[in-house]
Amino acid sequence: MLPALLAAGERMEASGATPQGDRLLTAIAKGVEAQGRLRLSSGQIEPEGLKFHPPGVVGPLATAAACSYLMGLDLERQAVAVAIAASGAAGIIANIGSMTKALHCGNAAMRGIEASDLAALGFTADRDPIGNPRGYGRAYFGETFDSGPLVAPVRVPRVLDPGMAWKLFPSQYATHFVITAALDCRASNADPSAIESVAIVTPVMAYIDRPKPDSGLAGKFSIQYCAAASLLDGKMDMASYTDARRFAPDMEAMLGRISLRQDPGIAGRLDRMHVVVKVCLKDGRVIERRCDAPEGSWSRPVKPERIRDKARRLLSAHLPGPAVEAFWRRVDASADRFAVRDLMATVRATR
């Protein structure tokens, strides 16, 4: 959603519009709210109940809602934008663990801004694309779909309650529970060579049960790999998911010591699940840690500086130092003076 909004905002400012900071923030809130409501309406919250990858299915519609608002379309044209985007929703679960998983998110951004542009040009679409018996809701979610959450009054926006869940590690979000528990175990034993075996208990999440991921990228979607890397390295960052790290001898050995049991009695919803990691040491000691919520989640908020530090590391990998500092100056500008065009100019700098 955000890349599409930045593109739309930059284009508007380049055409002479005033800085779009205020409207951009409102558009982001609208998009987050739309995604949350669509997810609730789907009735498919438990991972094992998913038929499609959610960002690829709810993302296009939410992005269209956000972009069409930012672009100043009237309510009728905003509705048309969402209807157009409904025909661009897609994303199969099977592609999770590959580069195509991220493409689902990119396609959602593309479809959302494309739908908004088409709506602005007068393109037509069904008046009830979501509730129509042959529409979006029935096509993607079947009998579990309930339009009620889409029209319920907004008491507290979802960006405030439960709030944002920040990803502190570059992997699939449910693996953050395993990473947290494994890092807690690592804090009590910093010597990986002392580990005899590792037993992990999680909810049923077949799509991230990958005992031997076939690449570093696939490791982002492997409970076992995320636990192994956490226990070996005591940290998780982008370097954790390279092929070099995946196929290192110590990683191969650690993966061979890990067993996983997926317990159907544990809720699979991210706001209700938990995991347990038990490390058995060669000297007979046992270290066991449970994670009910990783840092950065709704119930374990982190300070803004933690999020900023992560963003700074990611930016520094691609931008020269002065551009990184300029980026933060743009971000820290008051909303009414925040210019998308200026922000985007900083990220085009080269090392």
301 prior amide bond cis, ω within 30: no
Percent of the chain at pLDDT > 90 equals: 85
CB 130 within 8 A of CB 86: yes
Q: Distance (Å, rounded) from C-alpha 43 to C-alpha 174?
A: 19
* Residues 85, 118: Cα–Cα separation, whole Å: 10
pLDDT of residue 107: 98
Over residues 238-268, the pLDDT tens digits come to: 999 999 999 999 999 999 999 999 999 999 9
Which amino acid would we find at residue 125?
A
For range 187-211, the mean pLDDT: 97
Would you say 52 and 93 are in contact if contact means Cβ atoms under 8 Å apart? yes
Residue 310, C-beta contacts closer than 8 angstroms, at least 6 positions apart: 168
Global pTM exceeds 0.75: yes
Q: With CA atoms as reference, report the closest residue to 210 among 186, 197, 233, 227.
A: 227
Distance between CA atoms of residues 107 and 90, nearest Å: 9
Strands (E), 85-206: 195-202
DSSP of 195-240, one letter per residue? EEEEEEEE---GGG--SS-SSTTGGGG-HHHHHHHHHHHS--SGGG
Phi and psi of 278, rounded to 5°?
-120, 120
Coil, strand or helix at 258: strand
CA distance 48 to 208: 11
Residue written as token pair 């990803």:
167
Residues 6+ apart with CB under 8 A from 99: 217
Q: Check whether 157 has a pLDDT greater than 80.
A: no
* Ordered domains of the chain (ranges, CATH): 2-161 (1.10.4100.10), 175-291 (3.30.1330.120), 302-351 (no CATH)
Structure tokens at 151: 């029209």
Could you tell me if 271 and 162 are in contact, meaning their C-beta atoms sit under 8 angstroms apart?
yes
pLDDT of 349 above 80: no
pLDDT tens, position by position, 334-346:
887 889 999 999 9
Phi, psi angle pair for 341, to nearest 5°: -60, -40
Res. 158 pLDDT band, cuts 50 70 90? confident
Q: What is the mean pLDDT of residues 7-31?
A: 92
Helix, strand, or coil here: 290?
A: strand
Closest CA to 273 of 261, 286, 264: 264
Tally: H helices and E strands in the chain: 14, 4
Give the pLDDT score at 351. Answer: 59
